[in-house]
Structure 1
Amino acid sequence: MIVSYFFKVGLWASLGVSVAGLTACSGTSGSKTQDVEIITLDGPQTVQQVTAMFDDDWLLNTKVHHRASSYIPSQCYTRTEGQNGKVHNPCFTCHSTPKAPTYIDDTSFQMAYEFRDTSRKNPWINLFKDRTEAVANISDDTIMEYVRQSNYFDEDGRIILAETLKDVPKNWDFNGDGEWNGYRPDCYFNFDSEGFDRTPSGEDSGWRSFGYTPFLGTFWPTNGSTDDVIMRLAPAFRKDENGAWDRDVYRLNLAIVEALIKRRNVSIPPTDETLYQVDLNKDGELGQATEVVYDWAPLEGRYMSYVGQAKQQLAQKKVHLAGGLYPEGTEFIHSVRYIDFDENGDIRMSPRFKELRYGIKTNWNTYTQLRNVAMEELKEAHDFPDRLRYVQGSPEGGMLSGVGWTYQGFIEDQNGDLRPQSYEESLNCIGCHAGISQTTDTSFAFPRKLDADAFQGGWYHWTQKGLSGIPEPKWSDGTYEYTQYLLENGSGNEFRNNPEVIAKFFDEKGEVKPEALERLHGDIGYLLLPSPERAKALNKAYKVIVDEQSYIYGRTPHIKSLKDTVWLEPPADEPTGVKEAVLIP
């Protein structure tokens, strides 16, 4: 059953007064997520007024609401009709055909601005600022020196934020217990030939990096940031049945989770199934397996299993298994960084982080529970059309998604050091990770992981091999995905302010260049990677936002005002101009 949405909520309901009956299938395990005082800015406030509020008491003890609708991302306020009358449709990337256990069908968002009256006003007013002068005042040498300084590691290789959290600053200690109760960064970004992260003592940290085809539009480096995604399963998935650490067990469990998330078979090295007493290839006997076969249909009596200690916990119902869902305890970290380049002009990740984002699955929800959440959201939109969603959480304990995940983030302060994100700054993440139709169990990257025929079987970090040379992804019907985005949108991002992509892929008449598409088919780097000149300009544009600490007004790096391509207030009940929704197979 798929639930259609008719209002611009388009996001999962969360715990709180706005939605009834979700407590049973939402929440965290041991996280402190109590509420804090709400301050409403009548705004837009001046930058000076906003930065003046960043004192010791403000950060973790207040919710600053420039707009209560800040969970709706800035891309949703795009003007889909251009000044030349041409219609652009970047909306299909997030709002298209869902697949259970995602039960929302938000394809109608492609064709109408279905905002509520209370969310129609665009909260992302940074989009309308002209930063030409501010960017010009930053030299190339200054910005590149800045982005090449790590704010994650100190000179001795220690994780700066983890060291700070050992003696948590008073204004970060939300519950006042003298301890930091949220995520403590513990990934060393020291990846071996299988993508496993190694600690300074040479042990596995549990984190494993993977290569993937970046999600469409904003997430491409050509639009302002480099990034990565790294995952870790709960301790039981890393241990054998005797409770001992076992990398072979961990590899297999990661492959099993990959098969469950992708819902298709996953290749593995030749594996003796008798060691684990699990029929991985589903051939009816225990022998040699070279793949994990996806064959999960419990209503038809077909089941799958983890291996090692996780297999025992599955039998005890301490962890769960289902197609399209991660097991409890799954973690992701996502570092968002500036754009660096080497002496040859090749783009690479910067040592400096813009943000460190973290997510953990704390609760299990069945298909039925997830469907009920979607139906509660639909009822909420019908019964209370002007009421926005309410998200429970705090900067220390994290923000609750409402469907079993907790998300948390750290972002640069005025000195360039990482600090916890405030409540409203974190809302920006919850929106995309809690209810659009094109995520899998709220995640974007892992369903797009490269397959076993890729470098290191797809298990590697971008510092080991970059985006260049990766073939363009295809939909199940053979459609080239990035090509379709260019054809539908006519640009390389939602705001259509990327002249490099436009010049590469479109002629003076706005027609796509066949030779450029042909090159893209074999190398996504041709589209996704900016020139060093554009990289420097976008780095400077973001540094201006850091200096202002104006993240609650938008953190998209741009120089010129986007008033020609972004609505300050979309018209009520007006179509976008898109006549037919793009349905992703």
Structure 2
Amino acid sequence: MNNIKTSFLLAGISLLLTACGDVTETPTNLIDNTDEGTTTAATQSALIGSYINPVVFEGNPYPQVPAQCHTETSLGRQNACLFCHTNGLYKQGLGNNNPQAGAMPQVNFQIDYGFDPYSAQAPTAAKNYWLNTLSPETLLAAITAMDIDPNEWNMQDYIQEDNWQAAYNLRLGKSSDWDSGYDQPFRLLPGLNPAALPADNDGFVRSNDAKDIYFNDDFGGNTGWRAINFMPYGIFSPMTGSVSGIYIRLAAPFMQNSSGDFDLAIYQQNLDLLRDAIQNRLTETSPTNYFGAASAIKVVAGSYPQGTELAHPLHYVDTTADGSNGKLPGMRATRVKEVRYMYKDEDFNPMEARPGDGTGDQIYGNDKQGWVDNGSGWLLAGYIEDKNGDLRPQTRQELTQCIGCHSGFHYQTKDPNFTSGTGNTVDSTWSFPRAFNSDLGWQEMDYLGTKIRDGVATSTTPEPINRHADIGEFALLLNHTVSANLYGVMPQSIEAGLQTAINTESGYSSNWTAIKTDNAVNFEQSVTLRQTLLREYVVSKDYLNQDGTIKGFLLYPEAEDAIENARRYRQVVATQRYIYGKDVFSETPISYLHYRDSSIAEVKNDGTPYQFGEIISERSIQLDEPTRFDYKAGDGITLIEEDKPFNEGGTYFPDYVPYLQ
């Protein structure tokens, strides 16, 4: 494998960023300097980037703060915040040093809209910069100005086209090398050939192409990649417009026996042991070191070993695809929106750094090669559609969105680097912690066993149970939100399904009701009633089929809805306005509108209160005491009440843990 060690410290090179935000690039002979879209003779060199300060980002200086964080909470009846902003893993002492629900003083993002600026001189962080999501008409205006009519697009044909293979074919070097070593745009595109997919029944990806093969086993040419099948958060179902594949690969010693020979059984043992470590399943009798040639490497709970790779193709939703006829499962269209990649380049355990140890606001990476350092042990790379639908490297501004969810804190002594992250990741990762702890977990991601029957999507895997809350994972979502996703939006197909299921004739206390927005009193009454009815829905288990699987209409979009969602997203592709948001609705989501009573009205940065029904484009900030640490930081409240019991409508949940039984 390529053993070049990626590091912030490079002998003889000082990469500095001036206070005004200028970028200092690395010497031109060390980086790819080709213009975007052109190809020149590539040479091998060390992996080197430069620093940049996000204050210089055009249009959105805070891409690490997702658009979902700006939403209203239906007066506290909806707490989708808990799935990211939690103390749970931190209190477990496992893989996360970024508690965000009160375990760290003055940080509780379930209670406060605590948008923190980089400095008192930086642009406000308490503004919703995600214009595509906040105001979809701005995106439509941009596409109209290009003389494009989205209604003329044949989206079904578009999502069935292959744009991943062409990009993979441009990746130089060996597929077994995590870093191809060549200064070219697809340098860190994961060495996973889409032509080799789907994975075999044991989850391993095997290929007939010699350049893809890591070693040969009894079943063929093994690429080293293995598929992960996991339970996504209920907020990341195909309803949201994207479906994933997830693949993991460890460094060569984990694939070898003590004699240095490749050994499939040893590799399987090491992968199982790593899963136990990441999912907090280690016991007193668990091995303390990995097996085979990796026997000198200790097993660390909540931490991946150095050299771990994760590949994440993010596909469009194809409601005709369920894995039949050799196709990818789980409604994965052939076309990918993005191909994401993580490589653990440092031997770093997140629990070795305290909350608050992260320093600086500078982001290290390389725009032309599409990668950044996440500030806590990993390199993140990403390749996204250009205006023609072909993949291109993402810029640091675009990749900072990834850092926002896949990061944490590092040592105080580390070179200044941007840090962000959430409280629910294990060593910066979301998927592997929620993989099924059986052979089912070593299969292609199929979103609870999606099958298309007579044109209707259903699941075949029963609802997983959250092993700390001791309740179904989807039930937990329904109990704490009054919508179907992080945005507080309920698709019409789900509305229709709930209206059919929830009524007094079926034993409910009332009929399912629409959210009323004519005045504050009716709004509060309607969202409170919906919360009550959804909790009755959970108690009665009417959200489940008799076999324990989740009813399909709650997870899977109707064919027309999926196509229209893809059509809206393609407007972002055509305009290349990713910096303004990738999630686009037909109109401004209801959760961005001000429906509070005037006595609890949210205010703008300057203290001006919002009027009823007005779009909330920015939030309250602390301006009273310029000498205080939180000057110009967000000080608005979410209306989620810390002391309100669950049985009285409370939704506060500070210690959510993402682990499943």
Q: How would you bin the TM-score normalised by the shorter chain?
A: 0.7 to 0.9
Residues 1:70 and 2:76 are matched in the alignment: no
Equivalence for 1:115: 115
Distance, in Å, in 1 between the alignment partners of 2:473 and 2:223 is 34
The structural deviation recorded for 1:397 is 6.6
Equivalence for 2:247: 230
Residues 1:575 and 2:637 are matched in the alignment: yes
Residues 1:404 and 2:384 are matched in the alignment: no
Distance, in Å, in 2 between the alignment partners of 1:215 and 1:39 is 40
Q: Does the CA-based 8 Å contact 1:195-1:460 persist in structure 2?
A: yes
For residues 322-356 of structure 1, give each alpha carbon's deviation from its aligned partner in whole angstroms, at most 9, with x where no partner exists: 11111111110111111112299996110000000
Residue of 80, 98, 109 corresponding to 2:88: 98
For residues 186-215 of structure 1, give each alpha carbon's deviation from its aligned partner in whole angstroms, at most 9, with x where no partner exists: 333231110100123441111100211002
Distance, in Å, in 2 between the alignment partners of 1:28 and 1:520 is 58
Equivalence for 1:471: 462
Residue of 254, 263, 281 corresponding to 1:246: 263
Equivalence for 2:406: 433
Q: Does the CA-based 8 Å contact 2:366-2:396 persist in structure 1?
A: yes
For residues 356-405 of structure 1, give each alpha carbon's deviation from its aligned partner in whole angstroms, at most 9, with x where no partner exists: 0000111112466322xx2324xx6xxxxxxx833221232721111111
Equivalence for 2:474: 482
Residue of 178, 202, 207 corresponding to 1:199: 207
Structure 2 residue matching 1:65: 3-state secondary structure = coil
Distance, in Å, in 2 between the alignment partners of 1:33 and 1:449 is 42
Sort the Cα spacing of 1:39 and 1:362 in 2 relative to 1 into closer, same or farther, 3 A.
same
Distance, in Å, in 2 between the alignment partners of 1:533 and 1:347 is 17
Residue of 389, 401, 407 corresponding to 1:416: 389
Aligned partner letter, 1:329: G
Distance, in Å, in 2 between the alignment partners of 1:441 and 1:96 is 15
Equivalence for 1:143: 155
Q: Does the CA-based 8 Å contact 1:64-1:423 persist in structure 2?
A: no
Deviates more, 1:192-201 or 1:354-363: 192-201
Alignment TM-score, normalising by the size of structure 1: 0.73
Structure 2 residue matching 1:529: 3-state secondary structure = coil
Alignment TM-score, normalising by the size of structure 2: 0.65
For residues 545-564 of structure 1, give each alpha carbon's deviation from its aligned partner in whole angstroms, at most 9, with x where no partner exists: 10111001111132212365
Equivalence for 1:263: 280
Sort the Cα spacing of 1:525 and 1:64 in 2 relative to 1 into closer, same or farther, 3 A.
farther
Equivalence for 2:435: 449
Structure 2: gaps (5+ residues)? 1-5, 23-34, 39-48, 102-107, 118-123, 174-180, 210-219, 408-420, 451-458, 500-511, 514-528, 594-615, 622-634, 643-651
Distance, in Å, in 1 between the alignment partners of 2:580 and 2:14 is 24
Residue of 491, 501, 512 corresponding to 2:494: 501
For residues 57-85 of structure 1, give each alpha carbon's deviation from its aligned partner in whole angstroms, at most 9, with x where no partner exists: 9xx999743222111111111112x3xx5
Equivalence for 2:226: 208
Aligned partner letter, 1:441: D
Q: Does the CA-based 8 Å contact 1:211-1:460 persist in structure 2?
A: yes
Distance, in Å, in 2 between the alignment partners of 1:26 and 1:549 is 31
- Correspondence list, 1:49-448, <5 A: 64-80=57-73, 82=74, 85=75, 87-99=77-89, 100-101=93-94, 102-107=96-101, 108-117=108-117, 118-127=124-133, 128-130=135-137, 137-139=149-151, 142-153=154-165, 160-166=166-172, 181-187=187-193, 188-201=196-209, 202-217=220-235, 219-264=236-281, 294-295=283-284, 304-311=288-295, 314=296, 319-342=297-320, 348-366=331-349, 369-371=352-354, 374-377=355-358, 389-395=361-367, 396=369, 398-434=371-407, 435-448=421-434
Q: Does the CA-based 8 Å contact 1:140-1:536 persist in structure 2?
A: no
Sort the Cα spacing of 1:481 and 1:577 in 2 relative to 1 into closer, same or farther, 3 A.
same
Q: Which has the higher contact order (CA 8 A, sep 6+)?
A: 1
Sort the Cα spacing of 1:27 and 1:328 in 2 relative to 1 into closer, same or farther, 3 A.
farther
The structural deviation recorded for 1:470 is 1.9
The structural deviation recorded for 1:182 is 2.8
Equivalence for 1:558: 585
Distance, in Å, in 2 between the alignment partners of 1:407 and 1:534 is 32
Distance, in Å, in 2 between the alignment partners of 1:520 and 1:399 is 47
Q: Does the CA-based 8 Å contact 1:399-1:406 persist in structure 2?
A: yes
Distance, in Å, in 2 between the alignment partners of 1:368 and 1:399 is 22
Aligned partner letter, 1:129: P
Structure 1 residue matching 2:465: 3-state secondary structure = coil
Distance, in Å, in 2 between the alignment partners of 1:338 and 1:492 is 19
Sort the Cα spacing of 1:520 and 1:40 in 2 relative to 1 into closer, same or farther, 3 A.
farther
Aligned partner letter, 1:523: T
Deviates more, 1:566-575 or 1:233-242: 566-575
**How many residue pairs align between the two structures?**
478
Aligned partner letter, 2:640: V
Distance, in Å, in 2 between the alignment partners of 1:209 and 1:257 is 14
Distance, in Å, in 2 between the alignment partners of 1:389 and 1:421 is 19
Q: Does the CA-based 8 Å contact 1:147-1:338 persist in structure 2?
A: yes
Structure 1 residue matching 2:564: 3-state secondary structure = helix
Distance, in Å, in 1 between the alignment partners of 2:269 and 2:8 is 29
Sort the Cα spacing of 1:333 and 1:575 in 2 relative to 1 into closer, same or farther, 3 A.
same
Distance, in Å, in 2 between the alignment partners of 1:39 and 1:55 is 27
Aligned partner letter, 2:228: F
